[in-house]
Structure formats: structure tokens, C-alpha cells
Amino acid sequence: ISSRTLHIPWDKAGCLCPVGDLFNYEAPGIDAPTLDNEVNEDFNRLTDGGCEEDRNAYCFYARQSYSRGEQ
């Protein structure tokens, strides 16, 4: 299992995320969003994950709803 270190505001050491190479992953069949074609006030929503300080958690986002058995 690969892991990455992630920034979390409540711990200066950060945390480990055992999800492999999540941040270089591109879901099949969709183009990555850009600021030119997608306007979003919450910049973290344009990425695969981000620290939600109001939830005190690191959240992962799916750009598409997958069903069981799909990638």
C-alpha cells in the first residue's frame, strides 16, 4: 500500500493517507476540470481531496457516481 502525507491544520506533522497514487489519478471517460470550464467557489472541490476545516476532516471527492463493480 502506498501512502502520502497530507496537510491537516490541527497537527503540524500532518497525516498519512494509504490510498496509493490518488492525486495523479484521472477517472476514465472524463476530462479533468479546469478553471476555464468549471467555476466553483470551493477550490478544494476541483481536486480529489481537501481538508474541510469546518468538519475537522480530510475529505475525498468523486467527480462521478460509480456503482458496485465499476472502477
Q: Pick from 53, 28, 17, 36: which is nearest to 44 by CA?
A: 53
The percentage of residues in the chain with a pLDDT greater than 90, rounded to a whole number, is: 0
Residue ranges of domains in the chain: 4-60
Query: What local confidence, expressed as pLDDT, does residue 53 receive?
Result: 81
The residue type found at 6 is: L
Q: Tens digit of pLDDT for each residue in 39-62?
A: 444 444 455 677 788 888 878 777
Q: What is the pTM of this model?
A: 0.36
Q: Give the span between the Cα atoms of 39 and 34, in whole angstroms.
A: 8
Cβ atoms of 52 and 11 within 8 Å: the answer is: no
